[in-house]
Chain A
C-alpha cells in the first residue's frame, strides 16, 4: 500500500491528459499487469532474502550467489533516485498543503479562470511554496522517524482508507455532475492514432514510476516482511490497488475537466486546476468569508 500515493492521484491524470487517449491507458494497464510484476517480485525477493536496506540487500544476495558485491551500487542508485523524486514530490505535497490552508482561510475560487490564476500565482510565489514544502517534509519525517511498523504502516492504515474513501466519493460526484460520457470515451476507448512512440514509453514508464520499481523502496519494505510472506500476493495486490486508485483519480478529474472546457494536456497543474472546481460546486463547497486574488 505504501506504493499508492501522490503519483496515482497527481501524475496519472496529467500524464493521461498529456498523452491524450484510451490507448495510453490501455498500454499503461498492459505494462503494469505484464511488465511490472516480474520486476516487483525480483525486488521483493532481494529485500526478503537480504533483510536490509536496498544497497546491503543487493550486496548480500550477490555475495550468496557468488557474484560481485558491486551489485550493491544499484541499491545505492535506487535510494538516490528515491531521494531525487521525493525532493520534487515534497513540492507537490507543499502545493496540496497550500491549497488546504488557502481553502480554509479564503475559500475556493469562484470559477475556472480564478482557479487557474490561483495556481499560477502559487507557482510564482516561491516563499510560501517552500514553507509548505518544509511542513510537508516535517510531517513525512515525523512518520518515518517512528519506524516502518509503528510509523509508516500504522499511519498508512488510516490515511490510505481515508484517501480511498474521499477519492471514490469525489469520483462519484464528478461523474454525476461532470461530463461522464466524454470521460469514459477519453479514458477507455483506445485511439491508437493519438498514441506516439514516446507515449508508449511514457505509459510503460508511468507504471514503473507509480509502483516504485527501481527506487529501492520495494527492497527496503520487503526486508520487513515475515519469513513466510506470500510475495506474489503482495505484488498482485499492489498492482491492482495502484491501477484502480489511478483510474478512480482519472474518473474524479476528467469529468470536471471536460465539463468546464479545461485543457487535458495542461501538465502538472491539471489536478490542482480541476478538483477545486469540483469541490466548489458541491453543496456548501464554497462556505468561506470571501475569495481574494
Chain B
C-alpha cells in the first residue's frame, strides 16, 4: 500500500524515493494515531 502512495509522490512531486517513503510513512503514522486513540476509552 505504501508503494502506491510513494509512486504518486515520486512522479507528481518529483521527490526522491527516500524522501517520498519517509514522508509518506511518517504521515501515515500520524494518521494512524487516530485509530490508536479511538480504542482508548
Contacts and interface: CB of A to CB of B under 8 A. Distances in A.
A84 B4 CA distance: 12
Interface residues of B, number: 30
Contacts of B29: 87, 90, 130, 133-134, 137
B35 A140 contact: no
Interface in B1-40: 1-8, 10-12, 17-18, 21-22, 24-25, 27-29, 31-37, 39-40
Q: Is the interface of B mostly helix, strand, loop or mixed?
A: helix
A216 B4 contact: yes
Interface residues of A, number: 45
Nearest to B2: A144
A223 B5 CA distance: 14
A90 B2 CA distance: 11
A159 to B, nearest CB: 15
Contacts of B33: 126, 130, 133
Contact of A83 (B24, B34, B36, B37): B24
Nearest to A83: B5
Contact of B36 (A78, A129, A145, A215): A129
Interface of B: 1-8, 10-12, 17-18, 21-22, 24-25, 27-29, 31-37, 39-41
